[in-house]
Amino acid sequence: MTGKLDGKVAIITGASSGIGEATAFALAAEGAKVAIAARRTERLDALAKRIEASGGQALPIVTDITDEAQVNHLVQKTKVELGHVDILVNNAGIGVFGTIDTGNPADWRRAFDVNVLGVLYAIHAVLPLLKAQKSGHIVNISSVDGRIAQAGAGVYSATKWGVNALSEALRQEVSKDNIRVTIIEPGLVDTPFIDLISDPITKQLSEEQLKTITPLQSEDIARAIIYAVTQPEHVNVNEILIRSTTEDN
C-alpha cells in the first residue's frame, strides 16, 4: 500500500475490533506500517493477514494495556521491528455504565486502569522516541461522554474527561518538541463495544437507541483519524467531536 503516510509507523491499541481495527486498516491503506496491539491473539493475527493481503505491513503484538511492562514492550518491539514510531493511537477502552449507587468499585478501578492509566502508560513509553526525533502524533480516543456527563454513565464519563484533560495538558507540554496531540470524541458507534456493557438497563437503552438513529460506523472514526494525522506538520487538529446526524444528545 502507498499513500499519504508512506514511511510512517503507527501503533494502535485496542486493534482487534471496532474503531481500532478500522483505524489500523485505514492507516495501512495510506502506507503506514502498523503495530497492532490487543489481548486477543486470533483477531490480531487475522487483521494482520488482511492488511498484508492488501499490500500493507502489520506487526501484531499481544498487549494488555493495563500492564505497564507489556506496554513498554509494545513500544520497544515496534521500534526494533519497524524502525521507529511516528503515530500512537490510544484506542483501547472499556465501558462501565449504570448508576453510581448500584455500581461495583471493582468495575470502576478496571475502567480507570484501561481508559486512563493505559493511555498514560502508552504515552509515557512512546514520548522519549518522539522527543528524540522531534516529531510525532498522539491520538487519544475519548468520547462525547468526555464532554457531556449523563446519568448512568458517570464513571465512564469521568474516565473520558480524564483523557481529555491529560490530552490538553500533554499538548501544551510537547508542542515545543513538534509533537501533535489529537482528541477524537465519537458519539454512538455501532461496534462490539455495546456488547460489553454489563448493566442490563443501559445496554437495553443503547440497543434501542441504535434502532432509532443511523449510528456511526468504525470506518467513520478511522477517516477522522486519517484526516488529523495527514495534515501538514504545522497543523495540529486538537479535537474532533463526531456524532451521527440523527443523534440528539
| 193 confidence band (pLDDT: 50, 70, 90) | low
Residue 236: give its domain's CATH number: 3.40.50.720
Residue 248 lies in a domain: no
In the structure grid, which three cell numbers stand for residue 39, read together? 489481548
- Tell me the whole-structure pTM to 2 decimals: 0.94
On whether residue 194 sits in a domain, the answer given is yes
Q: Which domain holds residue 187?
A: 9-240
Q: What is the pLDDT of residue 192?
A: 67
Mean pLDDT across 17-36: 98
Mean pLDDT calculated for residue range 19-35: 98
* 195 pLDDT more than 80: no
User: Binning pLDDT at 50, 70 and 90, where does residue 227 land?
Assistant: very high
In a domain, 247, yes or no: no
Q: How many domains does the chain have?
A: 1
**3-state SS class at 183:** strand
- Is residue 227 among the annotated active site residues? no
Residue 143 has pLDDT above 70, yes or no: yes
Among residues 25, 156, 161, 193, the one annotated as catalytic is 156
Q: How far is CA 152 from CA 44, 64, 162, in A?
A: 32, 27, 17
Q: What distances in angstroms separate CA 95 from CA 56, 74, 145, 211, one per listed residue? A: 31, 24, 11, 20
Instruction: Find, among 148, 152, 173, 25, the residue nearest to 89 by Cα.
Output: 25
Q: Is residue 213 part of a domain?
A: yes
Tell me which DSSP letter residue 115 carries.
I
Domain-embedded: residue 1: no
